[in-house]
């Protein structure tokens, strides 16, 4: 029943987006509808646990609500779904072939229950979330190695589907990770096509299908690809900002930015950075700030309630000590981290150097863009986490740096490709 309800929500939200945007960017609207629907599933299921609502009643409410909306607006919904694709046959063949190859690569590289963090953290948390009132056992200090302070979007999605299907099959988290990875790819391609950058959309398709940027991370079944996707979405929406109907865009941007904090703790950093820069860029545009704040409100309320009511202290905060000041002024730590980052990027992610080099040659305006400011601040914040970490520095870098880079790298690729496609205009979404 829950999956049926999820499909209905996608239809309803897609109808609303097509109506608001006058049937423009339809492929992108379908994807945005999907992301909104899975976020809605996460928030509503978690709320049912917090409130003690019977799961069968939750499923009924989650399914019946969009069904009633569809019945009420049946003709408009039908018209909204009745559209033809403008994609050419050769491009369609390339897209389908790439998706097929991507699918094969994904399921060849993934494994039962995913890598360590997948089954030790995310799927374990999901299992606890199927325990009705006893889900609070998830936050016990006896399993502090599973990071019970982590936000609950991915576990709540997995747990709600497990509970609805009366199974805890390993295929559910694997399929969720696959769908997230595939929609990640399709979002970038759809956005570039909507911006009339068809050649660059093909380049992006090939990069994300056949490089080490998406597959190794998505197939681990970690939450990092979901976070990377939600980090990308506000930037995508900014590039499609319609000033004739900007209120809904700004609401969606705020919602997706704040929802990053419901995926991983690193998402809280992104939320803070994005919000501060957004306010700086829009100090004189009160309506922008108001609608952005409306979008932020629900995810932020969930996060604050979760952190204050249920989540124990973060391991990084709990383990911090008087050595913090010493580490902050330890030049050797800076040198060690910089060497590690440079070596990793050169050996495994040299495309970053290529893209930034091309930007320096062809379009330096990109370096002033809102998107690049976000990327830079996020990278610096991650760098400072390594400076101040109470954990063994080399171990911390080895176990997390490539995943943190995965949060940022797709946005860098997407925005630099757009900057190359619009070199005649300054790349600034707030022009």
346 inside domain: no
* Residue 1: domain span: 1-84
**Average pLDDT rounded to a whole number, residues 294-317:** 87
3 inside domain: yes
49 inside domain: yes
**pLDDT score recorded for residue 23:** 57
Judged against a pLDDT cut of 50, whether residue 431 lies above it is answered with no
Distant-in-sequence, close-in-space partners of 368: CB < 8 Å, separation ≥ 6: 426, 427, 428
pLDDT confidence tier of residue 140, bands split at 50, 70 and 90:
confident
pLDDT confidence tier of residue 429, bands split at 50, 70 and 90:
very low
Comparing 301 with 18, which gets the higher pLDDT?
301
368 inside domain: no
In angstroms, the CA 322 to CA 324 distance is 5
**Average pLDDT rounded to a whole number, residues 124-144:** 89
407 inside domain: no
Q: Which segment of 291-295, 322-326, 406-410 scores lowest on mean pLDDT?
A: 322-326
33 inside domain: yes
**Average pLDDT rounded to a whole number, residues 91-115:** 88
**pLDDT score recorded for residue 425:** 47
Q: Model confidence over 375-424: pLDDT tens digits?
A: 999 999 999 999 998 889 999 999 999 999 999 999 999 999 999 987 65
258 inside domain: no
Comparing 320 with 194, which gets the higher pLDDT?
194
Is-contact 193 201, C-beta < 8 A?
yes
Judged against a pLDDT cut of 70, whether residue 57 lies above it is answered with yes
In angstroms, the first-to-last Cα distance of the chain is: 46
* Total number of domains constituting the chain: 1
380 inside domain: no
Q: Closest Cα to residue 256, out of 14, 3, 20, 43?
A: 43
**pLDDT score recorded for residue 92:** 76
Helix/strand/coil for 426: coil
**pLDDT score recorded for residue 84:** 47
CB atoms within 10 A of CB 350: 10
**Average pLDDT rounded to a whole number, residues 79-84:** 51
**Average pLDDT rounded to a whole number, residues 300-325:** 78
Looking at every residue in the chain, the average pLDDT score rounds to 88
Rg (CA), the chain: 21
**Average pLDDT rounded to a whole number, residues 25-41:** 90
Judged against a pLDDT cut of 80, whether residue 313 lies above it is answered with no
């Amino acid at each position: 029943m829950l999956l049926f309800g999820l499909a209905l929500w996608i239809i309803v939200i897609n109808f609303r987006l097509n109506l608001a945007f006058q049937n423009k960017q339809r492929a992108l609207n379908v994807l945005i509808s999907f992301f909104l629907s899975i976020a809605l599933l996460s928030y509503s299921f978690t709320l049912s646990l917090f409130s003690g609502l019977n799961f069968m009643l939750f499923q009924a409410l989650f399914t019946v609500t969009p069904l009633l909306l569809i019945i009420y607006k049946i003709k408009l919904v039908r018209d909204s779904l009745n559209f033809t694709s403008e994609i050419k046959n050769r491009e369609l063949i390339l897209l389908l072939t790439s998706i097929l190859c991507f699918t094969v690569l994904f399921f060849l590289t993934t494994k039962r229950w995913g890598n360590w963090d997948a089954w030790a953290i995310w799927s374990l948390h999901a299992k606890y979330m199927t325990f009705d009132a006893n889900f609070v056992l998830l936050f016990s200090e006896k399993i502090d190695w599973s990071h019970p302070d982590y936000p609950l979007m991915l576990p709540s999605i997995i747990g709600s589907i497990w509970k609805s299907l009366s199974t805890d099959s390993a295929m559910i988290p694997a399929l969720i990770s696959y769908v997230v990875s595939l929609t990640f790819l399709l979002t970038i391609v759809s956005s570039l096509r909507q911006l009339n950058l068809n050649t660059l959309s093909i380049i992006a398709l090939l990069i994300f299908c056949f490089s080490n940027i998406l597959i190794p991370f998505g197939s681990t079944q970690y939450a990092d690809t979901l976070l990377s996707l939600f980090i990308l979405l506000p930037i995508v929406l900014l590039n499609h900002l319609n000033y004739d109907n900007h209120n809904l865009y700004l609401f969606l941007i705020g919602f997706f930015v704040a929802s990053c904090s419901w995926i991983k703790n690193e998402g809280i950093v992104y939320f803070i950075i994005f919000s501060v820069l957004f306010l700086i860029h829009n100090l004189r545009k009160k309506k922008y700030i108001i609608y952005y704040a409306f979008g932020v409100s629900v995810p932020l309320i969930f996060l604050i309630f979760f952190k204050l009511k249920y989540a124990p202290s973060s391991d990084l905060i709990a383990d911090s000590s008087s050595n913090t000041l010493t580490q902050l002024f330890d030049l050797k730590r800076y040198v060690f981290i910089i060497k590690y980052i440079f070596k990793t990027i050169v050996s495994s992610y040299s495309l970053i150097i290529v893209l930034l080099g091309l930007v320096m040659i062809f379009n330096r305006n990109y370096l002033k863009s809102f998107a690049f400011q976000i990327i830079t601040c996020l990278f610096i914040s991650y760098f400072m986490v390594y400076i101040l970490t109470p954990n063994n520095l080399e171990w911390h870098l080895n176990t997390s740096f490539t995943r943190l880079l995965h949060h940022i790298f797709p946005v860098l690729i997407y925005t630099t490709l757009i900057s190359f496609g619009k070199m005649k205009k300054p790349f600034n979404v707030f022009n």
